[in-house]
């Protein structure tokens, strides 16, 4: 990261991709969006050529889904199945494709196995729950936020030992502490242990911690593609979807190798929706708004949000382009 397409984002919208009454997603529409997105990003004439620009039969590919809001808000299984189909089409063996998440209960609740070919592996980093065996003791970030006993966050062994490439599949979500959960946070907090401690208090450490983790090797080098699932989205109460009134339906997907550029666009998407609903800005840091029950009241905040973590990741780690004048968005309607 930021990869070969620094500052470039392919934004694909499809009006018929989801029935907002039944929540049913149309698989043919997803397939069209994936095809348009990869071709627009790479400039390839065919979707197979586009996927071949990133993956080959020699790769072992991890698909980092986001299931923290499951079973409603998660990396849609229809999106994941489309990604798997395209990986297989360029020669990646099903047994060398891993759909993975940190927590087993969240992962199994989505039932990805019903959507993908036999042989594709579903793996939780922490299995059983709270196990540290899935983390590499040699690769970690060490920092003390509040004098805690455990000051290390270790990288997943899947990343350090098994995968050759990673596809990052975040959702479009507001987050009470970090502002949004996009590419950077899904990758950082989804691949390291002991991360919740960064937002245990009203004043969090998410500003610096997210980019710090995302920049760790080999995670940084192995994440070669980000595909943001914005079919459904959350404008408040994130990262979980506890109230349907905080969900909305952008009906879009974004594609890029630059996680900062994509997250910068996500900020605008969530901020515009919050403004329309009369909610405080993601950038509002007023202590007067702090209320631990804020996930139920969009007029309040649980934490002092840190949407600046995206710009921090750009300026301090070179993870991508934050300045919108340097971001090229190509929008496609299918």
pLDDT for the residue numbered 1: 96
Number of separate domains in the chain: 1
Residue 220: CB atoms within 10 A of its CB come to 18
pLDDT for the residue numbered 87: 98
Percent pLDDT > 90 in the chain is: 87
Tell me what the mean pLDDT of segment 45-65 comes to. Answer: 97
pLDDT for the residue numbered 326: 98
Tell me what the mean pLDDT of segment 53-66 comes to. Answer: 98
Distance of CA 208 to the CA centre of its chain: 18
How far are the Cα atoms of 82, 117, 169 from residue 96, in angstroms, in the given order? 16, 12, 18
Position 21 in a domain? no
- Give the pLDDT confidence of 92-114 residue by residue, as tens digits: 999 999 999 999 999 999 999 99
Position 1 in a domain? no
To the question of pTM greater than 0.85 for the whole model, the response is: yes
Contacts of 197 (CB under 8 A, 6+ apart): 145, 146, 148, 150
Position 43 in a domain? no
pLDDT range class, residue 290, cuts 50, 70, 90: confident
Helix (H) or strand (E) holding 36: helix 27-42
pLDDT range class, residue 210, cuts 50, 70, 90: very high
- Give the pLDDT confidence of 225-252 residue by residue, as tens digits: 999 999 999 999 888 877 889 999 999 9
What does 218-270 look like in DSSP terms, one character per residue? THHHHEEEEEEEEEEEESSSTTS---GGGEE---EEEEES-HHHHHHHHHHHH
pLDDT for the residue numbered 72: 80
- Give the pLDDT confidence of 294-327 residue by residue, as tens digits: 677 888 888 899 999 999 999 999 999 999 999 9
Position 28 in a domain? no
Tell me what the mean pLDDT of segment 35-48 comes to. Answer: 97
Position 213 in a domain? yes
Position 147 in a domain? yes
Average pLDDT of the chain is: 95
Question: Is the separation of the CB atoms in 233 and 249 below 8 Å?
Answer: yes
Position 3 in a domain? no
**Which of 318, 233, 243, 242 has its CA nearest to residue 270?**
233
pLDDT for the residue numbered 129: 82
What would you report as the CA-atom Rg of the chain, rounded to the nearest whole angstrom?
A: 18
* Full domain range(s) for residue 197: 52-224+234-247+258-317
The Cα 175–Cα 87 span in angstroms is 31
Tell me what the mean pLDDT of segment 140-169 comes to. Answer: 97
Position 177 in a domain? yes
């Amino acid at each position: 990261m930021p990869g070969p397409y620094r500052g470039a984002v392919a934004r694909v919208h499809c009006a018929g991709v989801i029935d907002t009454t039944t929540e049913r997603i149309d698989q043919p529409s997803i397939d069209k969006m994936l095809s348009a997105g990869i071709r627009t990003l790479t400039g390839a004439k065919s979707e197979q050529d586009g996927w071949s620009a990133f993956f080959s039969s020699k790769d072992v590919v991890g698909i980092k889904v986001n299931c923290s809001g499951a079973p409603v808000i998660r990396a849609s299984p229809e999106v994941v199945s489309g990604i798997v189909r395209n990986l297989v089409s360029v020669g990646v063996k099903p047994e060398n494709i891993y759909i993975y998440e940190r927590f087993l209960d969240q992962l199994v609740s989505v039932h990805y196995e019903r959507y993908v070919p036999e042989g594709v592996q579903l793996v939780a980093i922490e299995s059983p729950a709270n196990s540290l065996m899935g983390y590499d003791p040699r690769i970690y970030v060490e920092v003390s936020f509040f004098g805690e006993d455990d000051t290390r966050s270790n990288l997943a062994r899947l990343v350090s030992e098994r995968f050759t490439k990673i596809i990052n599949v975040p959702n479009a979500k507001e987050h009470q502490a970090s502002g949004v959960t996009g590419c950077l946070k899904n990758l950082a907090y989804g691949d390291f242990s002991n991360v919740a401690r960064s937002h245990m208090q009203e004043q969090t450490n998410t500003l610096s911690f997210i980019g710090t983790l995302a920049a760790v090797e080999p995670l940084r080098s192995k994440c070669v593609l980000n595909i943001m699932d914005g079919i459904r989205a959350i404008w408040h109460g994130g990262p979980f979807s506890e109230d349907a009134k905080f969900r909305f339906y952008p009906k879009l997907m974004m594609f890029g190798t630059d996680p900062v550029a994509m997250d910068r666009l996500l900020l605008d998407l969530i901020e515009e929706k919050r403004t329309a609903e009369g909610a405080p800005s993601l950038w509002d840091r007023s202590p007067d708004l702090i209320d631990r029950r804020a996930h139920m009241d969009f007029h309040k905040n649980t934490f002092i949000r840190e949407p600046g973590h995206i710009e921090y990741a750009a300026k301090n780690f070179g993870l991508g382009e934050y300045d919108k004048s340097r971001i090229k968005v190509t929008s496609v309607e299918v």
